[in-house]
Structure 1
Amino acid sequence: MPRKFEIGGGSCYQGITAMFIRLILEVCAILNIIALILLFKSKINAPKTLSVISLIIWSLISFFNFVDQTTEDFIIRIKYFTPFLIVNILIILIINQIKKTKSTLKVE
Structure 2
Amino acid sequence: MTDIIKYGEVIRGYLGMEAQKITPLLADNLSLPSNHGLLVNDITKESPAEKAGIEVGDIILEINNTPSEDPFQIRRFIASLKPGTHISLVGIRGLQSYQTNITLEKQPTMQRINY
For the aligned pair, the TM-score class normalised by the smaller chain equals under 0.3
Q: TM-score, normalised by structure 1?
A: 0.23
**More strand per residue:** 2
Structure showing greater Rg: 1
Q: Going by fraction, where is helix more abundant, 1 or 2? A: 1
TM-score, normalising length: structure 2: 0.22
